[in-house]
Amino acid sequence: MSDSTPDVPPDLADKRRLAADESFCFGCRSDLPCFTRCCANVNILLTPVDVLRLSRRLGITTTEFLDQHALLPITKDLQLPTVMLKMSDAEDKRCSFVSEKGCGVYEDRPWSCRMYPVAMALPPARVGVEPEPMYFLLEDDFCEGHGEPKRWTVDGWREDQDLASREELEAGFREIVSHPWFIGGTRKLDSKRMDMFFTACYDLDKFRTFVFESTFLERFDLEPELVDELREDDDALLRFAFRWLKLALFGEPVLKVKDSARRTA
C-alpha cells in the first residue's frame, strides 16, 4: 500500500511501507536472470562512510574518488550537499564497479546497495523529537529476487547486511542532517558552510589536511591522544568531523577554544 503522508519523499510515495515486524521475501543469486540488473542506470546516494570505504578500497584519496567516481547534483532546494555515485558512460549507464561476475567492491559496497530492496527515509526535523526512520520495499519489475522463498524483517535484513557498525560510525552525520536548525525549511547554509559540510563529511583527506596544516590545532584545545588518533585513524577523524560541524554550522560549543586563541580573536 502506498503512503501519502507529507513526510514521505515523493519518490517513495507509491512504495509499500514496511512496519517494524512486517516481513518480505527476497534473495539474490548469480544464477538469477536479473543478476546485477539493478546496478545500471540507478541513482545511488553515497554516505560519508561509503566515500571513505570505497576510496580506501581503490587505494586513492577521498579527493580523487570524488573527482573520478562521484556526481554532485545541485538543485534550487538543496539544503545540504549531496553525493551520488557516477555511472559509466556506456549506453546502459552501468556501475563502473560491476562486471558479469558481480560487484567488484562488494565488501565495501555503498549503504543503499546493501539496503536494496529496502529503502529508508527520515522525516523532517521537529523540536524535541528524535526522527524515526521509515522503511519501504522497492519492488522493481525486473527483479526476480522477490520470488525467492526466504523471508526477512527490516531488522533481520539490516543485520544480514552488516549495517549497524556503519550506521554507528555515521550517527553524528544523522544528527547534522536532522538538526533542529533546519526546522521549517526556511534556513539554508551559506556557500562557506556548505563547503565546510562537504569537506568534513565526504573529503576526509582534505579535512585531515585542514586539521593538521592550518591553525586549527592552535585554536582548539584537543587532548594529545585524540590528536594522535586523528592523524592515523580514519574512523576517529570522521567522528570528529561530525562533532566539529556542530560548532562550524550551528555554533554549538562542542570544542574548547584555547585561551591564547580567545585573546587574539
Write down the pLDDT at residue 1.
43
Domain boundary among 134, 150, 177: 177
Q: What is the CA radius of gyration of the chain?
A: 20
DSSP calls for 25-69: E----TTSTTTTGGGBS---B--HHHHHHHHHHHTS-HHHHHHHH
44 part of a folded domain: yes
182 part of a folded domain: no
User: Same domain, yes or no, for 161 and 232?
Assistant: no
User: Same domain, yes or no, for 155 and 228?
Assistant: no
1 part of a folded domain: no
User: Same domain, yes or no, for 210 and 136?
Assistant: no
Domain with 239 in it: 189-264
183 part of a folded domain: no
Write down the pLDDT at residue 20.
74
pLDDT(184) > 50? yes
User: Same domain, yes or no, for 124 and 156?
Assistant: yes
20 part of a folded domain: yes
User: Same domain, yes or no, for 65 and 139?
Assistant: yes
User: Same domain, yes or no, for 247 and 158?
Assistant: no
Residue 52 C-alpha from the chain's centroid: 10
User: Same domain, yes or no, for 173 and 199?
Assistant: no
- Give me the residue label for grid cell 562521484: 70
Domain boundary among 177, 203, 219: 177
The string of pLDDT tens digits covering residues 18-77 is 987 889 999 999 999 999 999 999 999 999 999 999 999 999 999 999 999 999 986 666
For 60, 249, 255, 260, the CA distances from 205, given in Å and listed in that order, are 10, 20, 21, 28
Pairing mode of beta strands 70-71, 84-85: antiparallel
The string of pLDDT tens digits covering residues 109-132 is 999 999 999 998 877 666 666 678
| Contact criterion met (CB below 8 Å) for 243 and 233 | no
Q: How many domains does the chain have?
A: 2
pLDDT mean across residues, the chain: 89
User: Same domain, yes or no, for 59 and 108?
Assistant: yes
Domain boundary among 144, 177, 210: 177
Give the 3-state secondary structure of residue 215.
coil
The string of pLDDT tens digits covering residues 66-89 is 999 999 986 666 678 899 999 998
